[in-house]
Amino acid sequence: MMSQYSKQKLSVSSKLTQISANRCFDGEQHYYRHESLATNTPMTFSIYLPDEALAGQRCPAILYLSGLTCNADNVTHKAHFQQKCSELGVIFIAPDTSPRSSDDIDVADDERYFVGQGASYYVDAVEAPWSEHFNMQSYIVDEFYDLVRQEFPVNSIGITGHSMGGHGALLLGFKYPSKFVSVSALSPVCAASESDWGQAAYTQYFGDDKSLWQQADAAKVIAKAGQQYASLLVDQGAADNFLSEGQLQTEKLQQACKDAQQPLTLRYQAGHDHSYYFIQTVIEDHIWHHYRQAQLS
């Protein structure tokens, strides 16, 4: 299982402050901080680099967007993507879910867990006080995307995510198909503009302008975008309480893909809930999905 550890050749610029580096399988799990222009805050992310990448060889990358209340730690500690990424030579990148307050910067927040810090929905807010820092769509698809391509040996990027991050992956993947070679999602919020969580957030971030709500609803964006990818993989726990509560509305994604003639592999996993125990169960299949699409691209 273990190869000889080779001294890393990777060098990153002063834009990035390294927080930690730990050997994990045949690669390293790194954390970094950088100053974001899009959010006007420091932003933290984790990146798993297989030995090929540490040696400077270009590798396919997966960008994982996390769900409500999470930061990069949840997926990095609990999803167990490292083993398969080590085997296949895939880079796995996990940004934060929103800008956050720090000693110097006071970022707006909301006591409800589905609005504010940890709950950006990966959109650019237009309403005060959110518009000052909550520009996560621009952050992900422009600034962070470019940063990752400049600083790490990435040869293609696929996008995935869980729950609110599944919404983010579907939304950004179909809004910016030239940027991503593949899309998948786990337990995604499929129709944010029509779920309680999403409506609470969009009232804050977009106010009354319902055209912005539509443009930030994954199912509506997919229906309009048409087919963009050879395949789309979505896993959903069949015993997920947020599914039965109507927060996820998987059927709207199914209808949108039908309307768009976008091939969709939708798997309802019996007995599984919304937790990282579910995510770790299916993450390997998602890594395979992105790896295969990267090979074909």
Active-site annotation, residues: 163, 240, 274
Interface with a second copy in residues 248-267 (CB under 8 A): 267
Q: Does residue number 5 form part of the binding site for a second copy (CB under 8 A)?
A: yes
Give the contacts of 113 (CB within 8 A, at least 6 positions apart): 68, 69, 119
Euclidean distance between CA atoms 179 and 172, whole angstroms: 9
CA separation (Å) from 73 to 63, 80, 112, 295? 14, 12, 21, 29
Q: Does residue number 9 form part of the binding site for a second copy (CB under 8 A)?
A: no
Please answer whether residues 31 and 22 qualify as being in contact, where contact means their C-beta atoms are separated by less than 8 angstroms: no
| Parallel/antiparallel/unpaired status of strands 59-65 and 41-50 | unpaired
| Minimum distance, C-beta of residue 280 to a second copy, in the bound complex (Å) | 7
Q: Does residue number 167 form part of the binding site for a second copy (CB under 8 A)?
A: no
| Minimum distance, C-beta of residue 238 to a second copy, in the bound complex (Å) | 8
Q: Does residue number 277 form part of the binding site for a second copy (CB under 8 A)?
A: yes
**Piece of the chain touching a second copy by CB under 8 A; list 95-103, 104-112, 160-168, 274-282:** 274-282
The crossing angle, in degrees rounded to 10, of helices 218-225 and 164-175 is 20
Candidates 138, 215, 231, 281: give the one binding a second copy (CB under 8 A).
Answer: 281
Candidates 17, 18, 22, 295: give the one binding a second copy (CB under 8 A).
Answer: 22
Please answer whether residues 208 and 240 qualify as being in contact, where contact means their C-beta atoms are separated by less than 8 angstroms: no
Q: Does residue number 214 form part of the binding site for a second copy (CB under 8 A)?
A: no
Q: Does residue number 278 form part of the binding site for a second copy (CB under 8 A)?
A: yes
What is the full DSSP assignment across 15-56? Answer: T-EEEEEEE-SSEEEEEEEEEETTTTEEEEEEEEEEHHHHTT
Candidates 16, 29, 172, 233: give the one binding a second copy (CB under 8 A).
Answer: 29
Site string for a second copy, 216-255 (x = CB under 8 A): ---------------------xxx----------------
Residue 270 has phi, psi (to 5 degrees) of -60, 135
Task: Give the DSSP H/E element, type plus range, for residue 197.
Answer: helix 196-206
Euclidean distance between CA atoms 14 and 11, whole angstroms: 10
Q: Does residue number 149 form part of the binding site for a second copy (CB under 8 A)?
A: no
CA separation (Å) from 265 to 90, 199, 249, 297? 22, 27, 16, 19
Candidates 58, 78, 149, 179: give the one binding a second copy (CB under 8 A).
Answer: 78
**Piece of the chain touching a second copy by CB under 8 A; list 31-39, 77-85, 90-98, 186-194:** 77-85
Q: Which positions lie near a second copy, rule CB under 8 A? A: 1-2, 4-5, 22-25, 29, 77-78, 80, 82-83, 237-239, 267, 269-273, 275-278, 280-282, 284-285
